[in-house]
Amino acid sequence: MELMRKSMKKICMHPEQAQCKGRIKGAHALQNNKIITLLAGEGRHVYMLDSKKKPLIVPMLNGKSEVIVEVSRTSANDATTETCFCDLHDNTVFAAIEKGAPDFEETNEKMKFIYAYKAFIFEYYKQRMSIDIFRSMFVKQPVAFKAPTMVGFYRMLQLKMKEFEPVKAHFDEQILSKTYGGIETCVIKIPEQIKFAVYSYIALDYDLDGKKLNTLLRELCIGLL
């Protein structure tokens, strides 16, 4: 994980890369001036899962093992950051939900779109970097990366990108046209303030009609037969 993080490229994920201005910065997946500031308090630090630390393998009474990722105290300025936007696009694309913007409004279609886009694009960036790094390491050590487990991992990355690309194409189209449509948002209100935050882009197990969806694992197993 640490080797992968050190190999992450700096690249702006905005569809108009030709218009980029300023350096590729450590953009926040969670809003620095809202969510992170609220959690960090006066000390300006939060606690995050630490990918730099080796995971703990804890044996359980049932004979199985649990993997535990340790947490570390992290500066608010560094929390949930990835080098995936230039100064210009980080400031303009997310302006609707950042500092100075109103609190979340469930009737505001642009705001809901930008929240969804932000969760997606940060996950897209990490997946894209993963497959790029895998390919570059294969060139350096082809024998090691021909092992069945590595082949399986690579095919899983390929399947993920196959699913991600049309979603990114839709987000890009909507951002360029400033229409902010084509998504459905489900808002769940919690009646009290909680002291943690998370963002993610996940694949659903079932569709809106309750039908089981094909999974990456199943497609992967078929591909390895």
SS3 readout for the chain: CHHHHHCCCCCCCCCCHHHCCCCEEEEECCCHHHHHHHHHHHHCEEEEECCCCCCEEEECCCCCEEEECCEEEEECCCCCEEEEEEHHHHHHHCHHHCCCCCCCCCCCHHHHHHHHHHHHHHHHHHHHHHHHHHHHHHHHCCCHHHCHHHHHHHHHHHHHHHHHHHHHHHHHHHHHHCCCCCCCCCCCCCCCCCCCCCCCCCCCCECCCCCECCCHHHHHHHHHC
What is the pTM for the complete model shown?
0.82
pLDDT tens, N- to C-terminus, the chain (225 residues): 555 556 678 999 999 999 999 999 899 999 888 899 989 988 999 999 887 888 889 999 998 889 898 999 999 999 999 999 999 999 999 999 987 888 889 999 999 999 999 999 999 999 999 999 888 888 888 888 888 888 888 898 998 899 899 999 999 999 999 999 999 998 888 899 888 998 888 777 777 788 877 655 444 433 333
Contact partners, residue 176, CB within 8 Å, separation at least 6: 15, 16
